[in-house]
A and B are shown apart, each in its own frame.
Chain A
């Protein structure tokens, strides 16, 4: 299926060395998950009655879903701000969002003490609309479903185009007595293919309503992730406890989303040895500072309003964490104001990393570092606790690698055969010019003409 398509599968083997390394990490993590279910949460984690939420909630849920906001941020850009030229980036963004949220849900199930009661979320008489957690839980579940629906077209395309080579190999390998009849199997596979071909255009017609739902839901639950800590007025340090928590979390996830979309694209271009999508990246990077400036503005304005500015600059434990978070985001965005730096993958990487780290540190500050339940309580994650989180992240990367090989996810680079020989060390000079997809180029041209009118 030709070069004219917008997305393509990644060619190459799935079972590489890194695959097995990741798999080992995943298995180590899941060993500790097993221990947790047999011996209780206390056996694997350092959480206590003072710090009832450890890194599983802070990283996997509160920060992980923000990092998984690439799909959300890019969808806003493409469908609401009407920048269709970024459309090629959306599938890989949605895929990482899907895994990010799915695994956040998984680690919640590890973290919950009584997960078998989770069905109560679906029983209206148990609903508790005052609880930010209730809102987050329902929204995250709904959003995960929406993400899967958004990804279905890629799977359908794969089914439609598959020649079922592995399936036929498997049939031939099986003993003739248990192997299904060749013609019946082909017939059935053909029917699956036709079914996929039937479903795809129909799904495409209503897909936009799911996409918009996929923009509304994160707006709701990302702000509610901030609302979760509103109630801890006596425990959360005044540097972070403010009525603006929901707004700050919402803006925070948007710029983390854009920065992560940039990082993801650079990393996957680099590790899969594909040309950098520099045009899209620098355009995207130009937007980030506007979002971060709003965020920093709200942050500072709020501190001034609550007379906490001196606390922020006092230089103590809390203030140093606050300043680190602030400076990472501020300096990272400052770099992006320069057009020259925006066109360099290396600088883009540096600044996007700073912004993601700063934004993530903000969430850590709110959930853990700025959280002080009183005298005598201490928390630092245990080895097993960290391993569970690392295992979950490794699973996410592993699944991403498998999925980009199985389904058309990555943007199509028409000249990808030549690109494979590219060297890594000087990405700027060697990055090939982006060969635009003709259909996208056409759309861009049309938009440009309309703009002129």
Chain B
């Protein structure tokens, strides 16, 4: 009996292993080469053009604070919420300008906001589809009416973009949605890009943004670092950057071209493809266990004898 079950066990292990390998090979082939969609909407931020006036931050708060449940504390003398100097993105700040100063001659501004990835990690990990990526526009959007507040999106996002309202009893996640329900719908452009006085923020289709960026790099090769941040990072992002300082000094992490979500989904799909492996595991185990139980009729009587006792 014991020998029998061990043989079964080995068989099971072998079969499962072989199955997993087969699935793995199949899915690895299938998911190779994620398509980048250059028709999606995005923004190009040129750090060399930015003067750090923070008009984008104020406009973002003004436009988006009316939407949803967000309500910012406003001083009475400041109905527009302009007098505000957040030090980082937060549960009440979707975009932020920071200054990175290495020396008096070498410094750069940088703007933080959602990168609107081509293959967003937050969408991949959200268990209840509260994070979604719009098919046509490519906007990564958040729905607070679905969100359970597990903060997996925060763990997953390599840029640390989604922010949580830690101080609220009824919190939510806050991140840029390209003014999808506000400025974009009304005026066809995100608020930050609309108000930027120097044209440091360009709003448009990813293909146009890339063309402009490559043009600027060619025109002024001495001015820029010869790289468009976001063109390939993490599977590509729709928010692109040009800068005169190395991007990792500006707080933009170095990320491999493969989207982190590609890697994790590949493994998850390998294990759970068509739900075959769990079902196979369950039925095999059932088979073994029932067989074992039959071999122990005497033992099973032990459970049943309590009834007979009466």
Contacts and interface: CB of A to CB of B under 8 A. Distances in A.
Contacts of B217: none
Contacts of B72: none
B188 to A, nearest CB: 30
Nearest to B154: A52
Contacts of A197: 307, 310
A38 B170 CA distance: 9
- Among B155, B271, B278, B302, the one with the most A-chain Cβ atoms within 10 Å of its Cβ is B155
B292 A80 contact: yes
A446 B301 CA distance: 14
B260 A451 contact: no
A115 B148 contact: yes
Given A49-B160, A80-B5, A113 B267 contact: no
Interface in B278-292: 278, 281-282, 285-286, 288-290, 292
Contacts of B295: 82, 447, 450
A439 interface: yes
10 contacts: A40-B171, A113-B151, A117-B149, A126-B128, A128-B127, A130-B125, A130-B265, A133-B126, A208-B286, A231-B264
B268 A117 contact: no
Interface stretch (A14-22, A62-70, A220-228, A251-259): A220-228
B5 A213 contact: no
B30 interface: no
A117 B160 contact: no
Nearest to A209: B286
- Among A111, A134, A375, the one with the most B-chain Cβ atoms within 10 Å of its Cβ is A134
A267 interface: no
- Among B147, B162, B303, the one with the most A-chain Cβ atoms within 10 Å of its Cβ is B303
Interface residues on B, range: 35 or more
B145 interface: yes
A31 interface: no
- Among B126, B146, B156, B306, the one with the most A-chain Cβ atoms within 10 Å of its Cβ is B306
B85 interface: no
Main secondary structure of the interface of A (DSSP, over half): helix
Contacts of A10: none
B172 A113 contact: yes
A95 B72 CA distance: 48
A204 B304 contact: yes
A440 B265 CA distance: 47
A4 interface: yes
A395 B171 CA distance: 27
Interface residues on A, range: 35 or more
B68 interface: no
Interface of A: 1-2, 4-6, 37-43, 47-50, 52-53, 79-82, 84, 87, 111-115, 117-118, 120-121, 125-135, 137, 153, 157, 160, 197, 200-201, 204, 208-209, 211-213, 215-216, 219-220, 223-224, 227-235, 243, 246, 373-375, 437, 439-440, 442-443, 446-447, 450-451
Contact of A117 (B145, B165, B299): B145
Contact of A234 (B151, B158, B293, B309): B158
Contact of B152 (A38, A42, A133): A133
B2 A82 contact: yes
B28 to A, nearest CB: 11
Contact of A230 (B151, B264, B272): B264
B227 interface: no
Nearest to A243: B267
Which 10 interchain pairs have the tightest Cβ spacing? A113-B149, A42-B166, A114-B149, A52-B151, A134-B127, A230-B264, A52-B154, A443-B299, A120-B128, A133-B127
Given A208-B289, A231-B155, A232-B260, 7 more contacts: A40-B171, A113-B151, A130-B269, A133-B150, A200-B307, A231-B156, A439-B305
Contacts of B305: 4, 439
Interface string B161-182: 0111111111111000000000
B127 A215 contact: no
B90 interface: yes
B175 to A, nearest CB: 11
B298 interface: yes
Nearest to A50: B160
Contacts of B2: 82, 447, 450-451
Nearest to B153: A52
Contact of B125 (A153, A215, A231): A231
A62 B278 CA distance: 21
A38 B162 CA distance: 23
